[in-house]
A and B are shown apart, each in its own frame.
Chain A
Amino acid sequence: SYELTQPPSVSVSPGQTARITCSGDALPKKYAYWYQQKSGQAPVLVIYEDSKRPSGIPERFSGSSSGTMATLTISGAQVEDEADYYCYSTDSSGNRGVFGGGTKLTVL
């Protein structure tokens, strides 16, 4: 079955840039979406269609995609950005969804 691969953890100091990657064979043809999940809460969408930001999401969140890799970038990471981040996409048929394994972002 199709898989998306993320690094288990990323750590940065406040104000630094955090980059979280997501790799998958279908990403050249399928959009990537990024979800933020804080402890005990439901996930929240922070990036859709590779690089678009929903209203209400801070400008420091951005996304990009090239080839088989999508990247979530948090420019000037804040302590409140500490969370688990998941990429999401679909398989090549577009019918089955898949989440990456998640990346724990630590900002300290």
Chain B
Amino acid sequence: EVQLVESGGGLVKPGGSLRLSCAASGFTFSSYSMNWVRQAPGKGLEWVSSISSSSSYIYYADSVKGRFTISRDNAKNSLYLQMNSLRAEDTAVYYCAREIVSGWFDPWGQGTLVTVSS
């Protein structure tokens, strides 16, 4: 079964840091680009970042550029998102998603909640 499982979410103070992980199984992880998408409580989806299969191409939304770092370890079938200088507006459920072809995200993980609050 193709599956993505996120972890690492939690409560963090403004200005703090958090590292999210996404464990992949059931497919050849190293063959696919991966993405992070977030959804603030009661709000819409927001694309956050993408990384190509070999980490050669990395892109960020303007809202997180310079604060977040996406990375992957193909040997461990894992995707990461290092989040620094967190702000209240970063509070959201963070999903990782496999990109089958550009724009086609499937599957998605179950999401991990990040809450930034003092």
| Bind each other | yes
> What is the interface of chain A, defined by CB distance below 8 A to chain B?
1, 31, 33, 35, 37, 42-45, 48-49, 54, 84, 86, 88-90, 94-102
Q: How far is the CB of B118 from chain A (nearest CB, A)?
A: 28
Whether B45 pairs with A37 at a CB distance below 8 angstroms is yes
- Using a Cβ–Cβ cut-off of 8 Å, how many residues does chain B contribute to the interface with A? 24
Decide if A31 touches B103 in the complex (CB within 8 Å).
yes
A19 to B50, CA, bound (A): 30
A31 to B103, CA, bound (A): 8
Closest-CB distance, B98 to chain A (whole angstroms): 11
Find out whether the CB atom of A90 lies under 8 angstroms from the CB atom of B102.
yes
Q: Count the A-B residue pairs with Cβ separation under 8 angstroms: how many?
A: 62
Contact B61 A96 (CB under 8 A): yes
Give the residue of A97, A101, A102 whose beta carbon is less than 8 angstroms from that of B47. A97
Interface set of B (CB-CB < 8 Å, partner A): 35, 37, 44-47, 50, 57, 59-62, 95, 101-111
CA gap between A42 and B105 in the complex, in Å:
11
Give chain A residues whose Cβ lies under 8 Å from the Cβ of B47. Answer: 88, 96-99
Contacts of A89 in B (CB 8 A): 103
Residue contact B103 to A88, C-beta cutoff 8 Å: yes
Between A and B, 17 residue pairs with Cβ closer than 8 Å are A1-B62, A31-B103, A42-B95, A84-B44, A86-B44, A95-B59, A96-B59, A96-B60, A96-B61, A97-B47, A97-B59, A98-B47, A99-B44, A99-B46, A99-B47, A102-B44, A102-B45
Nearest A-chain residue to B107, judged by Cβ: A42
Q: Output the residue of A35, A97, A98, A99 with the most chain B CB within 10 A.
A: A97
Alpha-carbon distance between A89 and B110 when the two chains are bound, in angstroms: 22
Residue contact B108 to A33, C-beta cutoff 8 Å = no
- Inter-chain CA distance A94–B33, complex, in Å, is 14
Q: Do A42 and B110 have beta carbons less than 8 Å apart?
A: yes
Q: What residues of B have a CB within 8 angstroms of the CB of A1 in the complex?
A: 61-62
